[in-house]
C-alpha cells in the first residue's frame, strides 16, 4: 500500500501545475498558502519537495497544454496540468474541445490506440519536455546510483502524463523504462486495452476518488454493458457509448470517505474487469438528487483524503 505521505508530494506537484499562467509560475508560488487541509496550511511548491529550479512548458493554441519539471532530491518530477485553458475563457473552451477528441488513434511510439486529444497534448509538449527531462536526469545520474523519473497529473494532466510516460519509456531502446513511476489523480482513461496491457509493466498508481465519474471516461466495455441500467443518465453518456472501449492503466487505489460519499456504495474491487464500478453507478444518485456540488468535490478536494484510500490488487 502506498503511504499517503509519499503520495502527497505528487498530488502537490499536480496541483502546482494548475498555477502555470502564460508559461510561468507566479513568484508567490514558493511561499503562499495554496490550501488548508484538515486545518493545516499547504504550499504546493514546498510540499512537492522541489530542491532546485522548476521549469515550465506550454504548448497548443492559447497555451492550453502545460507542464512543469524539477528535481526533488534523487527524483525528477514531471507534472502535467489538468483542464485549465491557461485560465482564460477562450483557452478553457479550446481545452474542453480537446478533451472531447476521444476518438482513438494509433500510439505511434508503441502498442495500441490512444485518446486523440490527450495524445496531441503530450505530442505538443514532448519536443521541449523530453530533452529537458533527459538533461536533468543525466545530472541526477551523476549524483545518485538509481534516480527516479516520476510523472504525475490530475484529471486531464493524469491522462497526458500516462501517454508521456509511455513515450519516454520507449525512446533510446527503452533506456528509462525501469526508472519511471506514474501517479495519476482523477485521470480519465488514455487508451484502449492493448495500450493498457502493454504499459502495465510501468510502475503506475492510479488514484480514483469514490463518485468521481471522470475516472470512468471514456467507458470500458463492461461499463458500456452496464450503461443501460442507469436509465435517463445514459443519455448523458450517449456519445461515450458510441466510442471504442477504453481501459485504465495502472494499479487502482480508491479514495473513499463514507461520510461525504453517501455511504451507499462501498468500494468493491472484485469484479472481473478489475474496476470499481460504484462511482459509475452512483452517478445516478448525484444527478437524481441534484448534488452537483458533491460531484465537483469528488473530482477535486476528495483527493486530499489520501489517508482514506484502499488499494485493489
**Residue 112: pLDDT over 60:** yes
pLDDT at 103 (0 to 100): 82
Identify the bridge partners of residue 67 per DSSP, sorted by sequence position: 57, 80
pLDDT at 46 (0 to 100): 93
Question: Which of helix, strand or coil describes residue 298?
Answer: helix
Average pLDDT for residues 291-306, to the nearest whole number?
A: 72
Q: Give percent above pLDDT 70 in the chain.
A: 72
Identify the bridge partners of residue 185 per DSSP, sorted by sequence position: 154, 207
Model confidence at 22, pLDDT cuts 50, 70, 90, reads: confident
Distance from chain centroid for Cα 86: 18
Task: Output the domain CATH number for residue 294.
Answer: 3.40.50.1820
Domain that holds residue 175: 4-311
Mean pLDDT of the chain: 80
Q: Give the tens place of pLDDT for each residue, 130-187.
A: 999 999 999 999 999 889 999 999 999 999 999 999 999 998 888 888 899 999 999 9
Contact between 249 and 196 (Cβ < 8 Å): yes
Q: Give the tens place of pLDDT for each residue, 72-94.
A: 989 999 999 988 755 666 656 56
Distance CA 241, CA 224 (A): 6
How many degrees, rounded to 5, is the angle at CA 290 between CA 285 and CA 294?
75
CB neighbours of 42 closer than 8 A, spacing ≥ 6?
A: 12, 33, 34, 35, 36
Q: Give the tens place of pLDDT for each residue, 39-49.
A: 889 999 999 99
Global pTM value: 0.86
Q: How far is CA 166 from CA 71, 151, 174, 274, in A?
A: 20, 10, 10, 21
**How many domains, in total, are found in the chain?**
1
pLDDT at 62 (0 to 100): 81
pLDDT at 264 (0 to 100): 45
Residue of 207, 159, 158 whose CA lies nearest to 308? 207
The answer to whether the bond into 218 is cis (omega within 30° of 0) is: yes
Q: 119 or 242, which is more confident? A: 119
Q: Give the tens place of pLDDT for each residue, 247-294.
A: 888 888 877 765 544 444 444 444 444 455 555 655 665 555 555 555
Distance from chain centroid for Cα 169: 17
Amino acid at each position: 500500500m502506498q503511504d499517503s505521505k509519499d503520495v502527497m508530494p505528487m498530488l502537490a506537484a499536480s496541483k502546482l501545475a494548475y498555477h502555470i499562467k502564460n508559461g510561468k509560475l507566479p513568484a508567490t508560488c514558493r511561499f503562499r498558502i495554496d490550501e488548508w487541509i484538515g486545518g493545516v496550511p499547504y504550499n504546493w511548491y514546498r510540499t512537492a519537495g522541489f530542491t532546485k529550479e522548476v521549469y515550465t512548458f506550454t504548448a497548443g493554441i492559447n497555451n492550453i497544454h502545460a507542464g512543469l519539471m524539477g528535481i526533488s532530491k534523487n527524483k525528477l518530477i514531471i507534472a502535467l496540468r489538468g483542464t485549465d485553458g491557461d485560465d482564460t475563457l477562450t483557452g478553457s473552451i479550446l481545452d474542453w474541445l480537446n478533451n472531447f477528441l476521444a476518438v482513438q488513434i494509433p500510439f505511434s511510439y508503441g502498442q495500441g490506440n490512444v485518446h486523440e486529444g490527450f495524445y496531441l497534448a503530450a505530442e505538443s509538449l514532448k519536443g521541449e519536455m523530453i530533452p529537458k527531462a533527459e538533461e536533468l536526469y543525466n545530472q541526477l545520474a551523476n549524483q545518485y546510483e538509481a534516480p527516479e523519473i516520476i510523472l504525475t497529473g490530475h484529471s486531464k494532466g493524469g491522462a497526458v502524463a500516462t501517454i508521456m510516460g509511455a513515450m519516454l519509456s520507449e525512446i533510446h531502446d527503452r533506456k528509462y523504462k525501469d526508472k519511471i513511476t506514474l501517479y495519476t489523480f482523477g485521470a480519465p482513461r488514455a487508451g484502449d486495452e492493448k495500450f493498457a496491457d502493454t504499459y502495465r509493466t510501468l510502475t503506475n498508481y492510479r488514484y480514483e476518488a469514490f463518485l468521481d465519474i471522470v475516472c470512468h471516461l471514456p467507458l470500458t466495455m463492461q461499463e458500456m454493458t452496464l450503461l443501460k441500467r442507469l436509465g435517463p443518465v445514459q443519455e448523458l453518456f450517449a456519445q461515450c457509448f458510441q466510442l471504442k472501449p477504453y481501459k485504465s492503466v495502472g494499479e487502482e487505489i480508491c479514495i473513499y470517505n463514507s461520510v461525504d460519499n453517501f455511504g451507499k456504495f462501498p468500494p468493491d474491487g472484485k469484479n472481473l474487469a478489475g474496476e470499481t464500478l460504484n462511482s459509475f453507478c452512483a452517478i445516478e444518485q448525484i444527478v437524481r438528487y441534484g448534488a452537483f456540488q458533491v460531484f465537483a468535490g469528488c473530482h477535486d478536494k476528495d483527493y486530499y483524503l489520501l489517508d482514506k484510500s484502499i488499494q485493489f490488487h
